[in-house]
Amino acid sequence: MELGFQFVVGFCSVLSCCFLYKAIARYSKNKMLSIFILYANYYFYLENLMRQSLAMSIALYAILLYVENRKLMQFIMLVFFAMMFHTVAIS
């Protein structure tokens, strides 16, 4: 079975949005405003730089999770997962 380009773009978009939404849901005081700003200003930029934005959103979630829970192994696993998409996750 061959996965088409649209499937890969859709998968990366959904995964990126899930991690960003989880970070917004956990840390934002005004969730609706945060989501509006994300989609109004940043979402189209995310789609243009798909791999980099996916890695950055996973890394952001990993950092926020580490700051809150201090679980180093979970942080390292998420950063390695993000590095599979782009090396920007370690910078």
* Per-residue model confidence as pLDDT tens digits over 47-83: 667 778 888 889 999 999 999 999 999 999 999 999 9
- Is residue 43 predicted with pLDDT exceeding 70? no
| pTM recorded for the entire structure | 0.62
pLDDT for position 91: 72
CA-nearest of 62, 55, 56, 79 to 26 is 62
What is the amino acid identity at position 88? V
On average, the pLDDT of the chain sits at: 84
pLDDT for position 48: 64
Coil, helix or strand for 11?
Answer: helix
- Is residue 46 predicted with pLDDT exceeding 80? no
